[in-house]
Amino acid sequence: MSLTPVAPAGASSPAGPAVVPRDRRLAKRRADWRRRRLVLILMSPWIVGFTVFFGYPLVMSAYLSFNHYDLLSPPRWVGLANYRYLFTIDPQVWTAIKNTIWIMVIMVPAQVLFAFGLALMVARARRGIGFFRTVFYLPALAPPVAATLGFVYLLNPSTGPVNTILGHLGIQGPLWFNSTAWAKPSLVLLALWGIGNTMVIFLAAVIDVPRHLLESAELDGANALQRLRWVTLPIISPVILFSVVLGVILALQYFTQAYVAAAIAGGQASQAGENINALGYPEDSTLFYPVLLYQHGFNDFQMGYASAMAMVLLAVAFALTLVIVINSRKWVHQAVPR
Amino acid sequence: MRRTGAAFVLLAFLAAAAAMAATAGGAHRASPIKLSVWAYWSPGTHELTSFDKLVAEYQKNHPEVKISVVGGVDDNKIVAAIRSGTAPDIVSSGNSYNVANYCRTGGWIDLAPYMKRDHISASLFPKAPQYYTQFNGTRCALPLLADDYGLYYNKALFKKAGITHPPKTISELTADAKKLTVRGSNGSFKVVGLDPVIGWYENVPERWIQQFGGKFVDSQGHAILSKDPAWTTWAKWQKALVDWYGYNNLVRWQTGAGDEFSASQAFENGKVAMNLDGEWRVAFIQHEHPNLQYATAPMPVADNHPELYGSGYINGTIIGIPRGGKHQDEAWNLVKYLTTNSHFLAQFSNLIRNVPTTTASLTSPEIKPDAHFSTFLKIFGNSHSSTSPIMASGNAFTNLVQNFFTKWQAGGVKDLPSGLKSLDKQLDAQVAQAGGGGGVP
């Protein structure tokens, strides 16, 4: 720190050697402030966006979770009542949790394996890699609502082309989205069809595996499976981690496809809006946690309770991500040899 | 002289002021108050077109207002608009399930002061619409035509099966349903006699239980589905019929039966011989399949409740004034006209074949006679006709009941009595969680 003597207040600074460091210090402060200001200005769109669209809703959601709030009258403090109802009474919440766990445990690994498998196949193609990459990526461009509508049509048990073809082969196709046993697997099929984004990421990682390492392993006598296990997988493990974390978070927030599929397959889009009970059709088999949250918040106008559900979801997402990331230290190779 | 001049100037000033005031008044008349009405009917439907047409008639006689009607508005949009202070002057909802939320929060304003001022009594309306437009005594809505439910049956298929009259009891209904069902060579259904699956088209518990005399809640507002034997009787009958068809067979058939609100609807195309449906289907058939040979009748009733025959479940469109509306007096005048004017109600009923909601308009000479539709007018006037309870938890209450019976019919509930007991507890807890209140229709 500078030991520059400070002139008494009110006294004019005498010209001399002591003034120069002070001016420098002031100039440095000004420069620091200018830099900080510039950083703040450059970051301001993000700060505003974060505060308005994330920070404020998060704080409000936490506050509302301790209130009875019907959207039309002021929030009324109810303490832990919403959480108590959530964990001990709500008859649908455990079904929703089970469904969400199912989709997380089945869909996420299926997506990762399928995307990885596709990437390996496309990477091995000697010709037309661009063509295959485009073909497999294209479905990812379809809006989720349109894609779901298309799948519900394709898999219509009576009139859909899939069951019609199966019928010609002498097989009675399943009820797909209209069956409690098949509704979730149908959603998994839909997710696998739209796997393009993950596939492209895996493809980039697979192509990026250093050739000399694969060749060395081959010279050491490693077969294709061993090269995959001991060379490719360790090198792309950060990408696997990324896909798993993202997949888990998206599975916890799984909503659009389930909502659309249930509404269309349920056929309950009543004109009078009376049968809005299609959420989760059939028999709550597609009632995922976010769908139930939506139902309570926007159909039943119990926004306080929906906020409590949202807070629990946030905590679970955070905890799961933490567990995966901590656990990943055992299997993710951060340093890639060149 | 000077005084005369001053008086002249003063007179001239007053004359000019009077002229300006008159001009201003003229300008006021030239720019009528804009009233915005939100309706749930979808844009392009004959319901919204008809509503528009009749509202234009009101506007013609009331040049002081200019009315714009916006269709396709659901309860979510209404609530969002009220919250953001951008609510229109008048709102309507397709049913009364959320009226508790609107009335107790003041989201829709209390209409009692206006009704008192204009000597409008709620007794203008029959018991059911009187009930489903208020919550715990606060009347924040009025009925704008009603829906009631009856039996549609295909006369040609009846004749082919040798059935001469519509069923009046559940036993007759079951026998006819089986007799009318035609299976193809591969076991699929060519014609389904009656599809009782909950969730299909208009099949929801509240519409069926009416015919069994079942009640949802006691006088204290506690759920009594496990205590009222009507629920068990209905549930067992419904499941037995579903099992006769095979649940999966019916579901498979439904996926090809056609959309409910399109020309491909199953009853309109002879795929189902008998169907529980609302009175509006008369107009749909008229528009889409005018040559269909069909008739209407009240829904059959439980064998031990013959006195209920002729009654049915009632609900319908409700209309009110949202909080924050800018022209509440003018809005009330229009709401009053739309809900109490016999001429309007009769005309609107003629166009969309919904039931007019005042007792007087039920017998209005302006209502076009129609044998199919008259069934529903009689159901509406029947003293046993009723509606579902308006509870604090709103739509969630009937949804929870529906969820239970949807699982039951698919075989997901092994023990009906204990399932119903648990349902009662859940319903009570749900109502308490929503703030409590509500009760018997």
Segment A107-135, tens digit of pLDDT:
999 999 999 999 999 998 878 888 888 99
CB under 8 Å to B229, separation ≥6 — which residues?
Answer: none
CB contact under 8 Å between B412 and A283, yes or no, is yes
- pLDDT in the model for residue A23: 86
* Exposure string over A50-76, b if 16+ CB within 10 A, otherwise e: eeeeeeeeeeebeebbbbbbbbbeebe
Closest alpha carbon within chain A to B253? A158
Contact flag A157-B252 (C-beta cutoff 8 Å): yes
- Mean per-residue pLDDT, A209-222: 94
pLDDT, tens only, A185-200: 999 999 999 999 999 9
How far is it, in rounded angstroms, from Cα B319 to Cα A156?
38
Nearest chain A Cα distance for residue B174, angstroms: 25
Is it the case that residue A334 has pLDDT exceeding 60? yes
Q: What are the tens digits of pLDDT across the range B137-191?
A: 999 999 999 999 999 999 999 999 999 999 999 999 999 999 999 998 878 899 9
Structure confidence at residue B97 (pLDDT)? 87
What's the number of CA atoms in the CB half-sphere (13 Å) around residue B401? 31
Radius of gyration of chain A (CA): 28
List Cβ neighbours of B276 (8 Å cut-off, separation of 6 or more): B149, B150, B151, B152, B201, B202, B203, B207, B208, B299
Is the Cβ pair A72, B429 closer than 8 Å?
Answer: no
Given B79, B94, B107, which is nearest A274 (Cβ)? Answer: B94
Mean model confidence pLDDT for chain A:
89
- Contact (Cβ atoms closer than 8 angstroms) between residue A157 and residue A178: yes
Does the pLDDT at position B346 exceed 60?
yes
Q: What percent of chain B has pLDDT over 70?
A: 93
Q: Would you give the DSSP letter of residue B292?
A: -
Interface contact A273-B42, CB threshold 8 A: no
Tokens of residue B21, six digits: 């005031």
Question: Apex CA B295: angle with CA B290 and CA B299, to 5°?
Answer: 135
Residue B309 C-beta-side C-alpha neighbours within 13 Å: 16
* B372-410 core/surface letters (b: 16 or more CB in 10 A; e: else): bbebbbbbbbbebbbbbbbbbbbbbbbbbbbbbbbbbbb
Peptide bond between residue A282 and the one before it cis (omega within 30 degrees of 0)? yes
pLDDT for position B440: 75
How far is the C-alpha of B413 from the C-alpha of B429, rounded, in Å?
A: 21
Put simply, the answer to whether B261 touches A301 (Cβ < 8 Å) is: no
H or E element at residue B250: helix B247-254
Phi, psi of B273 (to 5 degrees): -85, -35
Q: Which of A70, A283, A302 sits opposite B410 (nearest CB)?
A: A283
- Partner-chain contact A273 B95, CB within 8 Å: yes
Report the gap between the CA of B387 and the closest CA in chain A (Å): 13
**Which residue is it, tokens 């832990």?**
A80
Size of interface A-B (CB pairs under 8 A): 135
Residues of chain A with pLDDT > 90, as a percent, come to 81
Q: Which pairs with CB-CB distance under 8 Å and at least 24 residues apart come from A223-228?
A: A228/A120
**Confidence band for B14, pLDDT divided at 50, 70 and 90:** low
Q: Where are the alpha helices (DSSP H) in chain A?
A: 19-50, 56-64, 81-88, 93-102, 108-124, 129-137, 144-154, 161-168, 183-193, 196-207, 211-219, 224-227, 233-252, 256-266, 289-294, 303-328
Nearest to B37 by CA among B16, B21, B59, B15: B59
Write down the mean pLDDT value for chain B. Answer: 91
Number of neighbours of residue B223 by Cβ within 10 angstroms? 27
**Phi and psi (nearest 5°) for A55?**
-60, -55
Question: Which pLDDT does position B29 carry in this prediction?
Answer: 53
Residue contact B407–A283, C-beta within 8 A: yes
User: The whole model's pTM is what?
Assistant: 0.87
**Average pLDDT, integer, range A238-246:** 95
Secondary structure letter of residue A178 according to DSSP: G
Contact A76, A263 (CB under 8 A): no
pLDDT of B264 above 50:
yes
CA atoms within 13 A on the CB side of A50: 5
- pLDDT digit string, tens, across residues A251-292: 999 999 999 999 999 875 444 444 456 889 999 999 999 999
- Are A299 and B260 inside 8 Å of each other by CB? no
B81 Cβ under 8 Å from any chain A Cβ: no
Instruction: Name which of B42, B403, B418, B425 to mutate to probe chain A: the one with the most chain A Cβ atoms within 10 A of its Cβ.
Output: B403
Candidate from A85, A178, A275 with C-beta closest to B251 = A178
- Answer yes or no: do B403 and A180 touch at CB < 8 A: no
**Is residue A159 within 8 angstroms of chain B, CB to CB?**
yes
Nearest to B395 by CA among B440, B339, B438, B335: B438
**Residues B221, B391: Cα–Cα separation, whole Å:** 8
Say yes or no: domain A82-328 is CATH 1.10.3720.10. Answer: yes
Q: Summarize pLDDT for B267-300 with one digit per residue, the tens.
A: 999 999 999 999 999 999 999 999 999 999 999 9
* The pLDDT of residue B186: 79
B191 with B294: CB under 8 angstroms?
A: no
Structure tokens at B205: 């518990």
Interface contact B396-A284, CB threshold 8 A: no
**Which position has the higher pLDDT, B2 or B440?**
B440
Q: Decide if B293 contacts B270 (C-beta within 8 A).
A: no
pLDDT tens figures, A18-51? 556 788 889 999 999 999 999 999 999 999 999 9
Tell me how far apart the alpha carbons of residues B404 and B402 are, in angstroms, rounded to a whole number: 5
B187-238 residue pLDDT tens: 889 999 999 999 999 999 999 999 999 999 999 999 999 999 999 999 999 9
pLDDT class for A4, splitting at 50, 70, 90? Answer: very low
Which residues neighbour B415 within 8 Å (Cβ) at sequence distance 6 or greater? Answer: none
Residue type (1 letter), B157:
L
Amino acid identity of residue B272, one-letter, is: V
At A31, list the tokens.
Answer: 């420069």
Provide the residue ranges of all domains of chain B, joining segments of one domain with +.
1-30
Token reading at A33: 């402030």
Rounded distance between C-alpha atoms, residue A114 and residue B179, angstroms: 51
Q: Which residue of B has its CA nearest to A294?
A: B76
Whole-angstrom distance, CA of residue A220 vs CA of residue A217: 5
Contact B204 A178 (CB under 8 A): no
The partner residue sitting opposite A175, judged by closest CB among B252, B400, B422, is B252
Closest to A133 (Cα-Cα) out of A42, A195, A45: A195
Whole-Å CA distances, B126 to A154, B34, B142, B321, B356:
48, 32, 12, 22, 11
Q: Could you say which of B82, B147, B430 has the minimum Cβ distance to residue A72?
A: B82
> Could you give the CA distance from residue B166 to residue B169 in angstroms, rounded to a whole number?
9
Number of helices (H) and strands (E), helices first, in chain B? 18, 13
Q: Mean pLDDT, to the nearest integer, of A154-159? A: 94
What is the mean pLDDT of the segment spanning B58-71?
94
List CB contacts of A294: < 8 A, sequence separation 6 or more.
Answer: A255, A259, A279, A306
Q: Which residues are CB-contacts of A123 (< 8 A; sequence separation ≥ 6)?
A: A129, A203, A206, A207
